[in-house]
Chains A and B, each alone.
Chain A
Amino acid sequence: MQVSELGTRELRRRLTHAGLCLQTGPFRTRIHSRIPAVADGIAFQYRDFPVVPADSFCDFRCHLRAPRTLRRFHRPQVLFLADGRSIFKPLAYHQAFPMLEWGMNWCVANQTPEHLVFHAAALARGERALILPAPPGAGKSTLCAALAQRGWRLLTDESTLLDPASGSVCGPARPVSLKNASIEVLRRFAPEAVIGPACHDTIKGTVAHMRPPEGSALAAGRPARPAWLVFPRYQPGAETRLTPRHPAEAFMEMASQAFNYANLGRTAFHATADLIDQVEAYDFVYSRLEEAIDCFDALAD
């Protein structure tokens, strides 16, 4: 069953009672919340994702609620709780849905047992995967959203999961988080993209999420072979430039982008080394999205 088949009333009932058990790729998350913005955000963004019965086993438990203080009457706030514990400092109440997204990212980064989790976007063309690690502000999400609108299957915008045993990657295929100017850039680039309501005044400025294309949502969790590792950097006015990156440098960069590298020890080292062996690594500088997409399409053909 998918979120869209539940109907608004049943969705809200689950969120306020036994929890909504949402399947995103390899993970199941039980979400509790009475906050209407959370229900609306889930209905909109996760429309095509599977829901499992409330008595199933879920990997993560997430709960969003207002703090139990007098603040709930004056400039209310929202808390994110994982396993019943508040993880972050509270945010303004209207940022509840972005907070759910950040919280679910936190769960993947901190509670994933077996995969090596990289802070990177990933997309697939056929059986081959493109991995895009980058620090915030490098234009990773914009590029990821644009590629997802042009026939690349979205694996993830945020956490790339590498299975050390098979060497393949997968992702939860969750909504892509767009910030500030990139929201408008993407709207112009792909008018057919479905972008949710903008949330203003977060620490990152204005944030809006792009709904994953239906095909990506339905195939969430399906693994792909890593083929290209590209470190993107948006630079206003720059010519589109794809230059090979030395494997040793690419290795060090990737190791520093893994959330649980130290936890997995030598498994992480070997998995990262195998990943680097499998891929062509590049640095990528761009300013025009259209040219960037052509460049990746040429890479895949």
Chain B
Amino acid sequence: MRWPTDGTRDLARLLADPESAHTLSPLQWEGVVTAGRETTLLGTLWHRLNQAQCQTAVPQAVAWHLRGAQRVADRQAEALRWELRELQDGMLQRMAAPILLKGAAYLLADLPNARGRFCNDIDLMFPEDQLERAESLLFFDGWLGSHHDEYDQRYYREWMHELPPLQHQRRGTTLDLHHNILPRTFRVTVDAERLWRHSQPLPDPWRFRVLCPVHRVLHCVVHLYSETDWDRGLRDLYDIHALIGHCTAEEGAGFWDALISEAETLGLGWLLAPAVRDCQQRFRLPVPAEADRRLRRHQGLAALRPLRRRVFHYGLNTRTTRTPARDALARGLLFLRGHWLKMPPGLLVRHLTYKALHGDKDDPPTPQANQPEQHG
């Protein structure tokens, strides 16, 4: 459906420049709430508006939704801290401290994008040879495997960078165990040893480690720009934007130099370049001229550049959009691109064929809540 306002654009502009709250019409606010709900950015937005002291510019009915989302995020953060304490005080004591990735890491490292951010699951990274030991130990804490199908087991264990997700038998929390930040079969392989070498311990009482700032940004970049499903793309892009903004504020322009050099060393420049461009375009991320010049070298084939830019641009749109057909096409292309990068062609054909023939059976049953009759 073609909406009268571009909720994605208004939301991104508000996050970049909270002052623009003074200029929005009620209909534009509705688009912002809709787009924010879809990308789980409402709590983040409320935090941004408060930080800039622009919350009074928000109409009452809108503030209701933003404040509510912020409360849910606070509550999730509280639950997540509790869950992480349980984890570190349990069987994991028998192993060297793992690295926390993504949301849980942002929370414990107290990064600016953690405030108001929704985060339900926990991502842990172990050295590859200790991954299965961690899995068996966690079993005794009540963390059970979720994918029992033989093919899925093989998919995760042989080809991916993580094990099939674990779920806590009583609390239902999801736990992902990784040994790297990209699948084994991905176009580029990242040296996990290097990630470990630069990782940092969290302050007491936490017994977890986190990636160093440069790797944290790069993980966020590869996570989105290798993804097949761009449903919450804008949220992931905002993470990249906020992390870069935070690091440049802390470490100065030298951070750009370190970031680009590390991306080049790991062979990830071609993923970092579009990410930075999209942050510039959506959130007005300031990029120094020198960094811009260096990133330009990673833009890939000149002939494909305009197409690639458009695909990322439309792929980042939410459903509150003025260009539904182009967005859908972009999502489709991103899906194919994600798979193309994830596996070599032969394996990809095999995987997609298997999923096409057996996919239905493997899909988890529709949750009760999605039966319309449950709501009447």
Contact = CB atoms under 8 A, between A and B. Distances in A.
Interface of A: 18, 28, 30, 32, 55-59, 61, 63, 80-81, 83-85, 87-89, 91, 98-99, 101-103, 105-106, 109-114, 158, 177, 202-204, 207, 263-265, 267
Given A89-B370, A110-B369, A207-B376, 13 more contacts: A55-B26, A57-B61, A57-B62, A58-B30, A83-B37, A85-B319, A98-B372, A99-B372, A105-B376, A109-B375, A113-B67, A177-B376, A265-B78
Contacts of B373: 102, 202-204
B357 to A, nearest CB: 21
B135 interface: no
Given A111-B37, A264-B71, A30 B30 contact: yes
B38 A85 contact: yes
Interface in B2-31: 3-4, 25-27, 29-30
Interface of B: 1, 3-4, 25-27, 29-30, 33-34, 37-38, 59, 61-62, 64-65, 67-69, 71-72, 75, 78-79, 318-320, 366, 369-376
Given A61-B30, A113-B69, A102 B375 contact: yes
Contacts of A98: 372, 376
Nearest to B35: A83
A164 B25 CA distance: 30
Contacts of B369: 106, 110
Given A83-B37, A98-B376, A265-B79, A89 B68 contact: no
A56 B38 contact: no
A57 B372 contact: no
Contact of B370 (A58, A88, A113, A267): A88
A84 B64 contact: no
B72 A263 contact: yes
A264 B69 CA distance: 10
A197 B69 CA distance: 39
A28 B59 CA distance: 14
Contacts of B62: 57
Given A59-B61, A84-B320, A91 B27 contact: no
Contact of B71 (A89, A99, A207, A267): A267
B27 A57 contact: yes
Nearest to A177: B376
B29 A57 contact: yes
Nearest to A28: B61
A113 B1 contact: no
B375 A106 contact: yes
A55 B27 contact: yes
Nearest to A158: B376
A88 B371 contact: yes
Contacts of B1: 32, 63, 81, 84
A75 B338 CA distance: 36
A83 B376 contact: no
B376 A61 contact: no
A112 B72 CA distance: 11
Contacts of A158: 375-376
A83 B41 CA distance: 14
A266 B176 CA distance: 27
A263 B79 CA distance: 10
A28 B320 CA distance: 18
Nearest to A27: B61
